[in-house]
Amino acid sequence: MATRTKKKPGEDPLVQFTFKIPTSLYGALQEAGRLLHLDLSNLLRMIVGEHIGEYIVRGKAAAEQLAQARARKGPEASSKDRVGPNPRSIDL
Asked if 1 and 17 touch (Cβ cutoff 8 Å), the reply is yes
The separation between CA 18 and the C-alpha centre of its own chain, rounded to angstroms, equals 13
- pLDDT for 74 equals 73
Tens of pLDDT, residues 45-55 = 999 999 999 99
| CB of 92 closer than 8 Å to CB of 28 | yes
Please say if the pLDDT value at position 43 is more than 60: yes
What are the C-alpha distances in Å from 38 to residues 51, 75, 89?
17, 50, 28
Better-scored residue on pLDDT, 60 or 77: 60
- Report d(CA 18, CA 16) in Å as an integer: 7
